[in-house]
Copies of this chain bind each other. A is one copy, B any other.
Amino acid sequence: MSDSTLASMSPALAVSTVVFSLMPSDSTGRMALHIPLVRRIREPYRGRWALPGGPLAADEDLADAARRHLVTTTALSPTYLEQLYAFGARGRSLAERVVSIVYWALVSRANAADDATTALVQSDPNVCWFDADDLPELAFDHRTIVDYALWRLRTKMEYSRIAHAFIGDTFTLAGLREVHEAVLGRELDPANFRRMVESSDSVVPTGEFLTGTPHRPPRLYRYNHAVDLVDPNPLGRT
């Protein structure tokens, strides 16, 4: 694997990221999954939207490259970053052979809505957030990649603390349900959701209540770190 001829024979390598954030849907006003895309300004696929990404620098780890391209494109730092898959089929990039190592990332609502992002997106017409369930036609095989990332995110919602990356350390059950509804793309029955969460032991009440609301203030919860959820990946988290 370290033949000195390897570099010259190898296809090009790129690192791209599918970034998810929750933002209000243009059509319904409800929270929905959104993905930032970059309009290509050169061939191939000139004018098409594509995932943010680019080359791996010589002195850069893979996850650092993903983070760098994410920040450059969206001015955002991820609250969760995980390797998704390496895509390397022949013909996927039309021109030269490119193998893309793809990450997926979550950014929290607070970050995504902050001023820096708004300013960046407004100042660069070639960067735009799209509703994940209403994407334009994408360049390369990026549609397949987004579909796979969506599947991974939705599967992971069912057995891990992944929703945590979208909300703060404390939250109401209604807020947690809203995150689950936005990610899954469908409404959940409030009573069933409450029963499901309470029976799972995955969250615990903090003993405090949300302030600043009219009527009876809702109880605040946090994730229960005493429960070992099913994701003890030995490579650790970045």
Contacts and interface: CB of A to CB of B under 8 A. Distances in A.
Interface of A: 1-4, 6-7, 9-14, 16, 44, 50, 53-62, 83, 85-86, 88-90, 93-101, 140, 144, 147-148, 151, 232-235
B53 A1 contact: yes
A10 B9 CA distance: 11
The 9 closest A-B pairs by CB, nearest first: A6-B12, A10-B13, A1-B14, A7-B12, A62-B88, A86-B101, A86-B86, A2-B95, A10-B12
A1 B4 CA distance: 25
A191 to B, nearest CB: 26
A144 B233 CA distance: 12
Contacts of A4: 95-96
A62 B96 CA distance: 16
A97 B123 CA distance: 37
23 contacts: A1-B50, A1-B55, A1-B93, A1-B98, A2-B93, A2-B95, A2-B96, A3-B55, A9-B55, A9-B57, A10-B13, A10-B55, A10-B56, A11-B56, A11-B58, A13-B13, A62-B86, A62-B88, A62-B89, A88-B101, A144-B235, A147-B234, A148-B235
Contacts of A101: 86, 88, 99, 101
Contact of A56 (B99, B100, B232): B99
Given A6-B55, A10-B56, 18 more contacts: A1-B16, A1-B53, A1-B100, A2-B93, A2-B95, A3-B54, A4-B95, A4-B96, A6-B12, A7-B10, A7-B11, A7-B96, A9-B56, A56-B99, A60-B90, A61-B89, A148-B235, A151-B234
Contacts of A93: 1-2
A44 B4 CA distance: 11
A15 to B, nearest CB: 9
Given A56-B88, A99-B101, A6 B1 contact: no
Given A1-B140, A11-B13, A148-B234, A62 B6 contact: no
